[in-house]
Chains A and B, each alone.
Chain A
Amino acid sequence: MAVFSSLAEAVAANIRDGDTVAFEGFTHLIPFAAVHETIRQKRRDLHLVRMTPDLIYDQLIGMGCVRKLTFSWGGNPGVGSLHRFRDAVENDWPRPLEVDEHSHAALANAYEAGAAGLPCAILRGYRGTQHGSVNPNIKSVTCPFTGEVLAAVPSIRADCAVIHAQKADRKGNVFLEGIVGVQKEAVLGAKRAIVTVEEVVDDLGDVSPNACILPSWTVSAVVEVPGGAHPSYAHGYYKRDNAYYKAWEDIGREREVFLKWMEEHVMRQGPDAFKRHAMKAA
Chain B
Amino acid sequence: MADFSPTEMMTVAAARVLRNEDVCFVGIGMPSAACNLARLSHAPDITLIYESGTIATKPDVLPLSIGDGELCETALATVSVPEMFRYWLQGGRINRGFLGAAQLDRFANINTTVIGPYGKPKVRLPGSGGAPEIATSCGEIFIVMAQSKRSFVDKLDFVTSLGHGKGGDDRQKQGVTTKGPTLVVTDLCIMQPDPVTKELTVTGLHPGVTPEQVAAATGWALKFAPELTETPPPSDAELAVLRALHQRTNEAHQPKAAE
Binding site for B on A (CB under 8 A): 26-28, 51-52, 71-75, 77-79, 81-82, 85-86, 89-90, 101-105, 108-109, 111-112, 123-131, 134, 148-149, 178-182, 184-185, 233, 235, 239-240, 242-243, 245-246
Contact = CB atoms under 8 A, between A and B. Distances in A.
Given A126-B132, A129-B132, A185 B82 contact: yes
Nearest to A239: B69
Contacts of B252: 242
A27 B162 contact: no
B69 A235 contact: yes
Interface residues of B, number: 61
A111 B80 CA distance: 12
A10 to B, nearest CB: 25
B220 interface: no
B124 interface: yes
Interface string B68-98: 1101110000101110111001100000000
B66 to A, nearest CB: 6
Interface in B172-224: 174-176
Contact of B81 (A104, A148, A240): A104
Contacts of A89: 121, 124
Given A123-B133, A124-B137, A128-B174, A181 B81 contact: yes
Contact of A112 (B82, B129, B133, B256): B82
A105 B90 contact: yes
Contact of A27 (B65, B118, B127, B165): B65
B93 to A, nearest CB: 14
B180 to A, nearest CB: 9
Given A77-B28, A242-B68, 7 more contacts: A27-B65, A73-B128, A78-B29, A124-B137, A126-B133, A128-B162, A128-B176
Select the residue from A28, A81, A108, A126 with max chain B CB neighbours within 10 A. A108
Contacts of A74: 124, 126-127
Nearest to A75: B126
The list of the 9 closest CB pairs from A to B, nearest first, reads A27-B67, A128-B162, A75-B126, A77-B65, A78-B64, A243-B255, A73-B129, A105-B133, A128-B174
B256 A243 contact: yes
Contacts of A82: 126
A181 B79 CA distance: 8
Given A72-B129, A126-B132, A240-B64, A85 B124 contact: yes
A78 B63 contact: yes
B11 interface: no
B131 A127 contact: no
A148 B54 CA distance: 30
Nearest to A88: B124
B115 to A, nearest CB: 10
A105 B132 contact: yes
B58 interface: no
